[in-house]
Amino acid sequence: MAKIKSKNNGTKKEVIVEAATRLFREKGFKAASMRDLAEAVGVEAASLYNHIQSKEELLQEICFKVANEFNQKFDEIENSDLPSIKKVEAMLRFHIRQMFQHYEMVIVADRDWRHLSDPYLSNFHNQRRAYRKRLAGIIEAGIANNEIKPVDAPTVVLIMLHAVNGIESWHRSREKISAKQLEDNMVLIMTEGLKA
């Protein structure tokens, strides 16, 4: 019987999570089966249960890994001495880079988190809501100190996050500008319009 081969000193579970991430992005969480996952890592489906309890456990790993990375970066930027508009730009750049560097994981977390069950579902939903409010708070602070135009901060956050999610189509396009050009263009378009 085949064994799961770990890469670069990673654990077998990490190999399974990586394969699950790719599979969930390609098929969606609901359509992806444990048999599909076993095939992707080269083992029998029953062997997977030596390393994980369920398909949902993998989704939890993916969602909360993404959430933790975003929250850590947000804490770092929020607690910095940067002006508000520069904080917005730094967060925007981080979002964009995550879509380049960890595209599959970010897409799965954003698209499939609704398939979590409680308490994970409520926890993740609350984290998403709190994150948006914190980002809106930075924009509102910028408005209060006249760095940012008087705009509706929650609307700006929605527009930015939807625009960043649109990078998914960049990954699929055959003719595309470089990741750096895309990042610089997006940041220019979205932050210049906010400046007071």
Domain count, the chain: 2
pTM of the model: 0.86
Residue 39 sits in a domain whose CATH number is 1.10.10
pLDDT of residue 137: 97
78 shares its domain with 133 = yes
pLDDT of residue 152: 96
Q: Which amino acid is at 131?
A: Y
Most distant pair of Cα atoms in the chain: their distance: 66
Q: Please indicate, yes or no, if residue 7 is contained in any of the structural domains.
A: no
162 shares its domain with 186 = yes
Radius of gyration of the chain (CA): 19
Q: Please indicate, yes or no, if residue 99 is contained in any of the structural domains.
A: yes
| Structure tokens belonging to residue 59 | 């989704």
pLDDT of residue 4: 55
pLDDT of residue 1: 42
Q: Please indicate, yes or no, if residue 29 is contained in any of the structural domains.
A: yes
pLDDT of residue 134: 96
16 shares its domain with 76 = no
Q: Please indicate, yes or no, if residue 54 is contained in any of the structural domains.
A: no
69 shares its domain with 90 = yes
80 shares its domain with 24 = no
161 shares its domain with 110 = yes
Q: Please indicate, yes or no, if residue 3 is contained in any of the structural domains.
A: no
Domain of residue 111 covers 59-192
Average pLDDT, consecutive stretches of 10 residues, N- to C-terminus, the chain (196 residues):
55 86 93 89 80 90 96 96 96 95 94 95 96 96 95 95 90 83 92 89
178 shares its domain with 129 = yes
140 shares its domain with 188 = yes
CA distances from 191 to 1, 88, 93, 112, 135 (A): 55, 8, 11, 29, 14
CA distance from start to end of the chain: 65
Residue 74 sits in a domain whose CATH number is 1.10.357.10
Question: What gap in Å lies between CA 38 and CA 121, rounded to an integer?
Answer: 26
Question: What gap in Å lies between CA 98 and CA 68, rounded to an integer?
Answer: 13
